[in-house]
Structure 1
Amino acid sequence: MNRISVMKPWLGTAESEALAEVVASGWVAQGPRTAAFEEAFAQHQHVRHAVAASSCTTALQLALIVAGVKSGDDVVVPSFSFIATANAPTYLGARPVFADVESATGNVTADAVERVLTNKTTAIIAVDQGGMPLDLEPLRRMCDERGIALVEDAACAAGSTYMGAPVGGGADVSAWSFHPRKLLTTGEGGMLTTNNPDWASRARRLREHAMDVSAAERHGSTLAPQEHYGEVGYNFRMTDLQAAVGLVQLAKLDEMVQRRRELASRYRAAFHDVSGLRCAQDPEYGTSNFQSFWIEVLPEFRMDREHLLEKLAADEISARRGIMAAHQQQAYAGHSGISAPLPVTERLTANTLILPLYHELAEHEQDRVISSVLNAGGE
């Protein structure tokens, strides 16, 4: 049997041709394609400004900087997330304070965040985990009442919706990932989005060493203007090679979301009556792009999560353990800022797994995955 991967990016001839055009143009660093990608992404996400970056992690770091987070501050984050969510405030000398998540979506709630707020909290990072939209409005109200910045880590969520609109627009600033595990990929790369023009302008400067003259302005002039550096910046730029791929991928995003939702529906239908399995599903306030399709393996199931992973692997099916708990990692042992129990986080981390789901997954391949899971449960 052929191995079924947990994820494959949907790349083809159109992306190859876009790359060839950039190479032929001679402008492969950050330039006109990047600007076009930013404009197109902002329009797709219904926000005013988009700033391309080298990764979601660097975009998240820029988001915290422009939101005013500084060394010594506390930033509330979910532990139930890839470790980059906690790393971004740590890079700035701020302390990640871990909040628990709700079972249904794996996302933080306003109640969970409120339990861990401190007098040093200046920002909250709320994550759309696995593409599952978070309930933003209660967080928005809480942040507005307290003067706290609301940052959305939408790394996985391009194509997900909240209250009928694309996710990300309701936060003060959001960060996005274009890693190959995501629907829309540029190989590596990320994006910051915001409706605040001053924050967008500063993020553009900071990603390019804080120069007051952009590379496009310098290279577009025969006599380049003298640049100045008003603060310490970073090299967080995206290349035009990446942006060219991103433009093609963005045009395919709606089709990718539709296909993933169809496949997710097939999984849910197959496992609906299986005792001991709980599937990810849309919350009442939004729709997921199903960047990941995860299931929770409950005690009633015949196998625990680890043995089910082994069974799938024996059937040449590559699944993955569910989302990590950052507070359990050595990197944050002893200085993580934990101030509340995290029982849901620890349960989901221990008992969830991610099943194969990608645009070109054939239904007969998905049926193999379904059969393997059902056989493991004795169905």
Structure 2
Amino acid sequence: MVPWLGAEEIAAVTEVIESGWVAQGPRVARFETAFAEAMEAPFGVATSSCTTALHLALIVADVHSGDDVVVPSFSFIATANAPTYVGARPVFADVDPTTGNVTAETVRAALTERTRAVIVVDQGGVPVDLDPIRALCDPRGIVVIEDAACGAGSRYHGRPVGAGAVLTAWSFHPRKLLTTGEGGMLTTSDAEWAARARRLREHAMSVSASDRQASLLAPAEDYTEIGFNFRLTDLQAAIGLVQLGRLPEIVRRRRELAARYTAELADVPGLRPVVDPTWGTGNFQSFWVEVTAPFPTDRDGALHALARAGISARRGIMAAHRQPAYRGRDTGTVLLPHTERLTDKTLILPLYHQLSDDDQDRVIDAMRAATRDLVTEST
């Protein structure tokens, strides 16, 4: 992954530096409004990361110690970590073997009497099928939080992913389509939750730093509860505003590259590429392929073959329940066969906006050569 950054971002950051206001301020407010409008969400709250956005989402949703939160193990470990920050127990659910996302059926299997929330993930930019999950959870009073860390630019039933969730967390890490270096956003349809999240990200001060700065005699602030330092800076927000304008073109180019990978690798035996589900379109934040028979080697063998050709690919999404931090912990009793298969058998190919056709041809040729060379070696 290579972020698409250029002269416009440099100019935007320069303007912020020259303004003298570089911390959370007016550009953060502009970025919140613009991002929320683009994602068809009523309110946006900028944060220091997607992880902190998830943390705030659980707090405003009233998730406490003793509660259970259903999460996929097939996700970056932050998805499981967020419930532990509020004292809740992450309970792992399995995923659909084709999309890599949780479904209403896999969530149902993981529900407990103490389930207070469910975190669903648009894994690799593949939109999660949210409506059936909400139909399952809403009548039970279970809050569904969408982890759209990888989802900016993906669509679900014609709308941006996250638009149908009451709480959605977003990432602006450099591996994502839209980046601010680090940073995140919480979007919500609930005005009170948005207001509380804004206070909590700034130590729960009753008066924001920008309001105090705008006053000649700054009003005294109160600290209404235990808060956090989860703020985004105006420097980052300035970059985010430029990046938001680039998003449609980034999605168009990534989908073009993904379609080319899919077409060119279609006749390679044993490779199954990620594709759009019937309910939406992905942004191809990651282009992953599952490596199975009759491909002449396993996933790790394919990675080594690519590395020998000078191609840097990566293992697929991790399984959090296998990590030392969660091995031996009580995380529910659901078996996770699809999670483990996808973790063991998928790899991620290079895909970014500036990837040239020639460089993509190198990757495609290396995959084809790996098939021929490995077959020759085995005979």
TM-score class, shorter-chain normalisation, is: over 0.9
C-alpha distance in structure 1 between counterparts of 2:30 and 2:70, whole Å: 34
Q: What is the letter of the counterpart of residue 333 of structure 1? A: R
Partner of 2:245: 251
Provide the residue aligned with 1:265 in structure 2.
259
1:297-317 C-alpha deviation (Å, 9 max, x unpaired): 012101211111111111111
Q: Given that residues 294 and 353 in structure 1 are in contact (C-alpha distance below 8 angstroms), is that contact kept between their aligned partners in structure 2?
A: yes
**Conserved? CA contact 1:327–1:336, under 8 Å:** no
Which residue is equivalent to 1:4? Answer: none
- The secondary structure found in structure 1 opposite 2:325 is helix
Alpha-carbon separation, structure 1, partners of 2:354 and 2:107: 38
Alpha carbons 2:178, 2:247 under 8 Å: kept: yes
Q: Per-residue deviation at 1:336?
A: 4.0
Q: Please point out which of 345, 362, 367 is paired with 2:361.
A: 367
1:141-178 Cα offsets, whole Å, 9 max, x none, are 11111110000000000000000000001111000000
Kindly indicate whether the alpha-carbon contact (under 8 Å) linking 1:80 and 1:323 is maintained by their aligned counterparts in 2: yes
Whole-Å Cα distance in 2 between the matches of residues 10 and 343 of structure 1?
A: 37
Corresponding position of 2:376: none
> CA-to-partner distance for each residue in 1:82-132, whole Å, 9 max, x for gaps?
000000001111000000000111000010010110010000000000000
State how far apart, in whole Å, the 2-side matches of 1:240 and 1:205 are. Answer: 17
Instruction: Say if 1:124 and 1:150, in contact at 8 Å, map to a contact too.
Output: yes
Choose which of 198, 211, 218 in structure 1 pairs with 2:212.
Answer: 218
Preserved CA contact (<8 Å) 2:126 2:154: yes
Which residue of the partner structure matches residue 26 of structure 2?
32
Using the TM superposition, give the Cα deviation of residue 338 of structure 1 relative to its aligned residue in structure 2, in angstroms.
2.8
Find the counterpart in structure 2 of residue 165 from structure 1.
159
**Structure 2 residue 326 is the aligned partner of structure 1 residue 352:** no
Residues in 1 aligned to 2:79 and 2:352: alpha-carbon distance in whole angstroms:
24
Q: Distance in 2 between matches of 1:313 and 1:222?
A: 61
Match of 2:251, SS?
A: helix
Counterpart amino acid of residue 128 in structure 2? L
After TM superposition, which residue ranges in structure 1, 4 or more long, deviate above 6 angstroms? none
Q: Which residue of 1 aligns with 2:127?
A: 133
Alpha-carbon separation, structure 2, partners of 1:316 and 1:221 = 58
User: Over residues 210-230 of structure 1, what are the superposed CA-to-partner deviations in whole Å (9 max), with x where a residue is unaligned?
Assistant: 011011100111100110011
In structure 1, the residue matched to 2:222 is 228
The corresponding residue for 2:92 is 98
Q: How far apart are residue 76 of structure 1 and its match?
A: 0.1
> Given residue 142 of structure 1, which amino acid in structure 2 is its aligned partner?
L
* Backbone CA RMSD of aligned residues: 0.8
CA contact (8 A) 1:154 1:168 kept: yes
Do residues 205 (structure 1) and 203 (structure 2) align?
Answer: no
Identity of aligned residues (%): 65
Quick one: which amino acid aligns to residue 346 of structure 1? E
Instruction: Give 1:297's match in structure 2, choosing from 291, 300, 319.
Output: 291
Q: Which residue of 2 aligns with 1:284?
A: 278
Gaps of 5+ in 1: 1-6
State the match for 2:63 in structure 1: 69
- Which residue number corresponds to residue 3 of structure 1? none
Pair 1:142–1:297, CA change in 2 (3 A): same
Give the whole-Å Cα distance in 2 for the aligned partners of 1:316 and 1:26: 45
Q: Counterpart in 2 of 1:326?
A: 320
Q: Structure 2 counterpart of 1:35, which letter?
A: A
